[in-house]
Amino acid sequence: MNANELIKQLLLSFNSNDKEAFFSVAREYIEREKRMKHTQVAKELEKALFDRNGNGISFSERRFKNTLPIPRDSEKGFPLLEIKQYEDSFENLIINDNLKNQLDQIIKEFKDSDILATYNLCYKKKILLCGKPGTGKTYTAHIVSSLLNIPLVSIRFDSIISSYLGETASNLRKVFDYIEQGTWIVLFDEFDIIGKNRDDIHEHGEIKRVVNNFLQMLDNFNGASILFAATNHQYLLDPAIWRRFDDVLFYDLPDDETRSKLFERYLKPLKRDQNINLKDILEKSDQLSPADIKMIAEEAMKLSIIDSRNSLTQKDLIIALEKFLKREKLRISTKEAE
């Protein structure tokens, strides 16, 4: 579409109160300015569209309607990626200061990428997120998308890996071709499916080829996005993969202080008894992840709400915690028995 047509579409969508279409056309216009190297204009328009203090349109977790068709697996027709705009705040991500600083730096570099470019420097573009499940790796990508007001593209590895192995490589190519055409926060979530140690003798030769392909595409990636790759099994990745990233963020299980903050955050919606003592709960929740703590807090609040009490008691918390620990024990023993 040319500029006049875009502006016409913009007015039409405004008139019919179709915010999603309005947002989508506005983005296309901005992308057009970028392609024409009108960087400053594009920046100002982006600010006008996204700035929360202005009259920008905001979407909370709505599917982002895009102008280019989403790439699909040609065999089964599944979409290979998903695009969403998130809205959340940095404070909600409870991580240690080290990690916070690393993340802060990534965001700042991206915001100042133009200035960095004048010195021939590039912002941190490819980031590896690793650590145990439920520690906030996927959530981090949502937060970065929110903070920068840029939609998150999540790559679905279940659909990328085709039973037709030649198709897998072609799917990856389609994904990279797509993301190279826009500005996104990109998340290759649980990418170890394709990033597993390339020397593993159990790996089929074709899969190895795909991994090499992925690494090459990562190396050659030159788009204006931030690429995150998340894994729960970083020890499975071979050193060649580590070297490809500009930064590695490691998500540890939360210490006492961080767990306390997590309980505070996830118990916030409900009033609490005055005699609640979190210390006891913190001791017993050693080794639990933020996602586990969220689950326990929600379970405890539900016990109280269903019971028509208007405040949370120590007993609610203990019941929820013990129920969780029992379940964990069962899960681990079942796994060991396998």
User: Which stretches of the chain bind ligand ADP, using CB under 6 A?
Assistant: 93-95, 133-139, 230, 251, 290-291, 294
- What is the distance between the alpha carbons of residues 53 and 24, in angstroms, rounded to a whole number? 20
Q: Which is nearer to Mg ion, 64 or 191 (CB)?
A: 191
- What is the distance between the alpha carbons of residues 338 and 330, in angstroms, rounded to a whole number? 12
Partner from ligand ADP, Mg ion, none binding residue 145, C-beta < 5-8 Å depending on class: none
SS3 of 120, please?
Answer: coil
- Pick out residues in 275-304 that bind Mg ion (CB under 5 A): none
Partner from Mg ion, ligand ADP, none binding residue 207, C-beta < 5-8 Å depending on class: none
Smallest gap from residue 187 Cβ to ligand ADP (A): 9
> Could you give the dihedral angle defined by the CA atoms of residues 40, 41, 44 and 50, in that order, rounded to the nearest 10 degrees?
-120
**Host H or E run for residue 131:** strand 126-131
Q: Which is nearer to ligand ADP, 135 or 149 (CB)?
A: 135
Partner from ligand ADP, Mg ion, none binding residue 231, C-beta < 5-8 Å depending on class: none
- What is the distance between the alpha carbons of residues 229 and 242, in angstroms, rounded to a whole number? 11
Smallest gap from residue 189 Cβ to Mg ion (A): 6
Token duo for residue 17: 């109160």
Smallest gap from residue 290 Cβ to ligand ADP (A): 3
Partner from ligand ADP, Mg ion, none binding residue 291, C-beta < 5-8 Å depending on class: ligand ADP
Partner from Mg ion, ligand ADP, none binding residue 93, C-beta < 5-8 Å depending on class: ligand ADP
Q: Which is nearer to ligand ADP, 94 or 144 (CB)?
A: 94
Smallest gap from residue 104 Cβ to ligand ADP (A): 15
Site string for Mg ion, 133-172 (x = CB under 5 A): ----xx----------------------------------
- Pick out residues in 111-140 that bind Mg ion (CB under 5 A): 137-138
CB atoms within 10 A of CB 50: 19
- What is the distance between the alpha carbons of residues 134 and 190, in angstroms, rounded to a whole number? 12
Q: Which is nearer to ligand ADP, 137 or 196 (CB)?
A: 137
- 182 close to 70: Cβ distance less than 8 angstroms: no
User: Which distant-in-sequence residues (6+ apart) come within 8 Å of 258 by Cβ?
Assistant: 94, 95, 96
Smallest gap from residue 127 Cβ to ligand ADP (A): 14
Q: Which is nearer to Mg ion, 138 or 225 (CB)?
A: 138
End-to-end CA distance of the chain: 58
Closest residue by beta carbon to Mg ion:
138
Q: Where are the alpha helices (DSSP H) in 204-274?
A: 205-220, 239-242, 256-267
- What is the distance between the alpha carbons of residues 250 and 244, in angstroms, rounded to a whole number? 16
Smallest gap from residue 127 Cβ to Mg ion (A): 14
- 95 close to 258: Cβ distance less than 8 angstroms: yes
Q: Which is nearer to ligand ADP, 168 or 289 (CB)?
A: 289
Closest residue by beta carbon to ligand ADP:
136
- What is the distance between the alpha carbons of residues 327 and 331, in angstroms, rounded to a whole number? 6
- Pick out residues in 73-112 that bind Mg ion (CB under 5 A): none
Smallest gap from residue 234 Cβ to ligand ADP (A): 12
Q: Which is nearer to Mg ion, 7 or 248 (CB)?
A: 248
- What is the distance between the alpha carbons of residues 167 and 335, in angstroms, rounded to a whole number? 33
- What is the distance between the alpha carbons of residues 124 and 57, in angstroms, rounded to a whole number? 28
Smallest gap from residue 321 Cβ to ligand ADP (A): 17
Specify burial of residue 96 (Cβ count, 10 A radius: 0-12, 13-18, 19+): middle
Q: Applying CB under 5 A, which residues contact Mg ion?
A: 137-138
